[in-house]
Chain A
Amino acid sequence: MIEPAIAPQPRLEWQLAEVRAIVVETPRVKSLLLQVPAWQGHLPGQHVDIRLTAEDGYQAQRSYSIASPPEDALLTLTVERLDNGEVSPYLVDDVRVGDQFELRGPIGGYFVWTVATRGPLCLIAGGSGIAPLAAMLRHRARRKVRAPTLLMYSSRSLEEVIYGEELDAMSRGDSDLRLVNTLTREQPEGWTGYRRRIDKAMLAEVGFPPEQHPKIFICGPTPLVEDASRFLVELGHPFPTIKTERFGPTGGLAS
């Protein structure tokens, strides 16, 4: 596998990706595992553009974070079905193994973490915002690097926690990885974890203190990203150490 020692030069040419496998993650979320023949490698956190073309020539283009680490041969995109979406219902409901669509990337070296970066890693995710952070965690696990890491993950319910079992297994086997889930709408019997939206008190309780200079990545719906980054700044983390990726309604990533 290619060692991502330096950022691969972006090749922004459309390639044909083929769906090799589909994984049902939650009732509304599926992962598509893609074969991209001329793929040059990527860094954890980067995204791709995909382009769909209908028979009448109509095209729709969207961006999706790469959820797989660079160590994997296939590229994983994790898609949440948005009811009013134009593209996500197609990707979640209609796409079959063997289907092909256009893809280009990797894009965006800004929202990236690799094991070459020293220091604690603080990851904050809401819903399908877990995707680029999963790429970072999977990369970290594959490279067997024990950087102190926290994942704080907000979901509506236990059944909507994407990659739930995998993340649990990862943190059970690694004392340097702390996994903190918060379930904001519905909790199972006997749930002892957080039951509210991520707030300043929660971040103060479980987060790395500023003196430890964690690298912070926040990804998810805009309100969560806004709130979390504001709280972290109030808790003393310098603004440049916080990198954000908002999943907005204005046609940024995915709909």
Chain B
Amino acid sequence: MAGSPISRGFRSRRQEQTPRNRVPPGQYVTTDFPVLSAGPTPQIKVEDWTLSLQLAGSLLGKWSWAEFEALPQTTIKTDIHCVTKWSKLDTTWRGVTFDDLLKGVGLAEPPTPYVMAHSDGGYTTNLPVADLINGRGMIVTRYEGLPIPPVHGGPARLFVPHLYFWKSAKWVRRLRFMEKDERGFWESLGYHNYGDPWKEQRYDGD
């Protein structure tokens, strides 16, 4: 910020303690798991839970919890990066890849270029399908071997770790294929449409 006077002796302790080669610019590593929600935690019973793939008003596929758990499961260990500047390294998640969801409805490739993820509670986020296929995106149900706690998005959340974590929508219930890109909850309010942490794409205009 041009013109702000320097506060004598002040420095960012968190960023100084961060291994820079592993962590995107402007981030610091945390060992806890901060909770950030745009609304109250939905209390979802797995007996009532379903996940849908939708295209222009028609249903491409729908899974109950039991059906979803019967799909091929993939485990991944990776880092996650929140736009509020914390990063968490070596986190383990388990769920179903987007590729396996497509196979599950008999599709060899996504029918449109974009997807909007819709969650219980009304949250949305948009993504190019290119950022979901080839193992880049999953619907996860386990964190560190245990069911994801509701406050962190359980029973199931979207998981797209190469982008800022607001794209990994908690409490996901529906993936809607879109011909044209539309902006989701944060993307329509000043946050970056894509959100690559390595290019520090936090805000619209970055």
State the CA gap A127–B36 with chains docked (Å): 24
Interface hit among B3-11, B71-79, B159-167: B3-11
State the CA gap A145–B34 with chains docked (Å): 45
In this complex, what residue of A is CB-closest to B32? A84
On whether the beta carbons of B14 and A51 are closer than 8 Å, the reply is no
State the CA gap A10–B6 with chains docked (Å): 25
Residues in A with CB closer than 8 Å to B36 are 250
**Also in contact, A53 and B7, with CB within 8 A (given A59-B1, A250-B36):** yes
State the CA gap A101–B12 with chains docked (Å): 15
Residues in A with CB closer than 8 Å to B13 are 86, 89
**Also in contact, A99 and B12, with CB within 8 A (given A57-B1, A59-B1, A250-B36):** no
Interface: A194 (CB within 8 A): no
Interface: B18 (CB within 8 A): no
The 8 Å CB contact of A100, one of B7, B15, B34, B84, is B7
On whether the beta carbons of A16 and B5 are closer than 8 Å, the reply is yes
Residues in A with CB closer than 8 Å to B9 are 90, 94
On whether the beta carbons of A54 and B12 are closer than 8 Å, the reply is yes
On whether the beta carbons of A102 and B5 are closer than 8 Å, the reply is yes
The 8 Å CB contact of B4, one of A59, A86, A99, A251, is A59
On whether the beta carbons of A54 and B5 are closer than 8 Å, the reply is no
Interface: A203 (CB within 8 A): no
In this complex, what residue of A is CB-closest to B35? A250
On whether the beta carbons of A54 and B6 are closer than 8 Å, the reply is yes
Size of the chain A interface, CB-CB below 8 angstroms: 24
On whether the beta carbons of A60 and B12 are closer than 8 Å, the reply is yes
Interface: A253 (CB within 8 A): no
State the CA gap A90–B14 with chains docked (Å): 13
State the CA gap A239–B9 with chains docked (Å): 45
The 8 Å CB contact of A94, one of B4, B10, B14, B34, is B10
Interface: A179 (CB within 8 A): no
In this complex, what residue of A is CB-closest to B3? A14
Closest Cβ of chain B to A27, distance in Å, is: 20
Return the CB mask of B1-43 against A: 1 if under 8 Å, else 0.
1001111111111110000000000000000001110000000
Closest Cβ of chain A to B28, distance in Å, is: 9
State the CA gap A60–B84 with chains docked (Å): 12
**Also in contact, A86 and B12, with CB within 8 A (given A53-B1, A250-B36):** yes
Closest Cβ of chain B to A17, distance in Å, is: 11
On whether the beta carbons of A51 and B10 are closer than 8 Å, the reply is no
Closest Cβ of chain B to A64, distance in Å, is: 15
The 8 Å CB contact of B8, one of A16, A56, A99, A249, is A99
**Also in contact, A90 and B10, with CB within 8 A (given A58-B15, A250-B36):** yes
Residues in A with CB closer than 8 Å to B10 are 52-54, 60, 90, 94
On whether the beta carbons of B14 and A54 are closer than 8 Å, the reply is no
Residues in A with CB closer than 8 Å to B35 are 250
Residues in A with CB closer than 8 Å to B1 are 53, 57, 59
Return the CB mask of A27-65 against B: 1 if under 8 Å, else 0.
000000000000000000000000111111111100000
State the CA gap A51–B1 with chains docked (Å): 11
Residues in A with CB closer than 8 Å to B11 are 54-56, 58
Residues in B with CB closer than 8 Å to A53 are 1, 4-7, 10
Residues in B with CB closer than 8 Å to A102 are 4-5
In this complex, what residue of B is CB-closest to A60? B12
State the CA gap A55–B34 with chains docked (Å): 28
Interface residues of A in 98-121 (CB under 8 A from B): 99-102
State the CA gap A60–B183 with chains docked (Å): 29
On whether the beta carbons of A100 and B5 are closer than 8 Å, the reply is yes
State the CA gap A101–B26 with chains docked (Å): 23
24 contacts between A and B (CB under 8 A): A14-B4, A16-B5, A52-B10, A53-B4, A53-B5, A53-B7, A53-B10, A54-B7, A54-B10, A54-B12, A58-B11, A60-B12, A86-B13, A90-B7, A90-B9, A94-B9, A94-B10, A96-B8, A100-B5, A100-B7, A100-B8, A101-B5, A250-B35, A251-B84
Please give the residue numbers on chain A whose beta carbons come within 8 Å of chain B beta carbons, in ascending order. 14, 16, 51-60, 86, 89-90, 94, 96, 99-102, 249-251
Pick the 9 closest A-B CB pairs, nearest first.
A52-B7, A53-B4, A52-B10, A54-B11, A101-B7, A58-B12, A94-B9, A54-B10, A90-B10
